[in-house]
């Protein structure tokens, strides 16, 4: 299990402290939600903040690009220090080019799918991916309710990966917490993103520990 706290739910005035707290709590990677106010109805952070985060923690940065024209921004986020980069299938017309480019830059490439986007969109690109990020809420905001249909989607994606003899990781993002983490892992997820579940209690270090023990 790879636990990826989402700093979308952190205090943006204290991001450095937030990543250090989740690091002490045992987080594996840090999930960074990039939103452009176009692809999703919210605006968050850009490459300079990723660069600053890179200086604040040794943990890998898992950058989730919820932006239009993501292909134009890949180098900026790689240069800023991203370790994993996910682009939305709904936002990138030349997906193969984007994924190949990320790989050539030495980062782990992934594709993200909105809740209503079918797994069939992965058919051709799956062998090229390090991970698939399945959205279990409609992207744009932290603290939303998990969409139950995502559980079945994880299982079907797991079967698709297994049938092809691949080792692509399944990352689940949105509404993940102590109440459903274990079921998500059992269904085939390997990477759990959690914003609210880690930060809402006000002690993210403990939040990471609690989530991990609830999932084991």
Binding to ligand DX5 (CB under 6 A) within 118-177 occurs at 137, 139-144, 173-176
107: left (phi over 0), alpha (psi -120 to 50) or beta: beta
Q: Please tell me whether residue 87 adopts helix, strand or coil conformation.
A: strand
Q: Which is nearer to Zn ion, 140 or 188 (CB)?
A: 140
Phi then psi dihedrals of residue 128, to 5 deg:
-90, -5
Contact between 33 and Zn ion per CB under 5 A: yes
Stretch that binds Zn ion, among 56-64, 115-123, 149-157, 200-208 (CB under 5 A): 56-64
Q: Please tell me whether residue 66 adopts helix, strand or coil conformation.
A: strand
Out of ligand DX5, Zn ion, none, what residue 195 binds, judged by CB under 5 to 8 A for its kind, is: ligand DX5
Q: Which is nearer to Zn ion, 34 or 185 (CB)?
A: 34
> In sequence order, which ranges of 38-89 are alpha helices (DSSP H)?
47-56, 74-80
For residue 147, give the nearest of 137, 139, 157, 162 by alpha carbon.
137
Q: Which is nearer to Zn ion, 163 or 208 (CB)?
A: 208
Stretch that binds Zn ion, among 57-65, 94-102, 145-153, 182-190 (CB under 5 A): 57-65
**Cα–Cα distance for residue pair 84/78, rounded to 1 Å:** 9
- Chain residues that interact with Zn ion, rule: CB under 5 A: 33, 64, 173
- Chain residues that interact with ligand DX5, rule: CB under 6 A: 6, 8-9, 31, 33, 64, 137, 139-144, 173-176, 193-197
């Amino acid at each position: 299990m790879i636990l990826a706290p989402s700093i979308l739910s952190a205090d943006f005035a204290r991001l450095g402290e937030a990543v250090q707290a989740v690091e002490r709590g045992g987080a594996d990677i840090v999930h960074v939600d990039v939103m452009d106010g176009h692809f999703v109805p919210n605006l968050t952070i850009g490459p300079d903040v990723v660069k600053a985060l890179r200086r604040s923690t040794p943990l890998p940065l898992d950058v989730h690009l919820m932006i239009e024209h993501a292909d134009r921004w890949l180098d900026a986020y790689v240069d800023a220090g991203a370790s994993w980069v996910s682009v939305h299938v709904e936002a990138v017309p030349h997906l193969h080019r984007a994924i190949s480019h990320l790989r050539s830059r030495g980062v782990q490439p992934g594709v993200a799918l909105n809740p209503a986007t079918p797994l069939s969109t992965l058919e051709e690109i799956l062998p090229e991916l390090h991970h698939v990020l399945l959205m279990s809420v409609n992207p744009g905001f932290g603290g939303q309710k998990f969409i139950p249909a995502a559980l079945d989607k994880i299982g079907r994606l797991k079967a698709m990966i297994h049938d092809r003899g691949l080792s692509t990781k399944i990352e689940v993002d949105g509404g993940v917490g102590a109440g459903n983490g274990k079921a998500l892992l059992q269904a085939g997820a390997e990477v759990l993103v959690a914003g609210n579940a880690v930060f809402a209690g006000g002690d993210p270090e403990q939040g990471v520990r609690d989530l991990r023990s609830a999932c084991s």
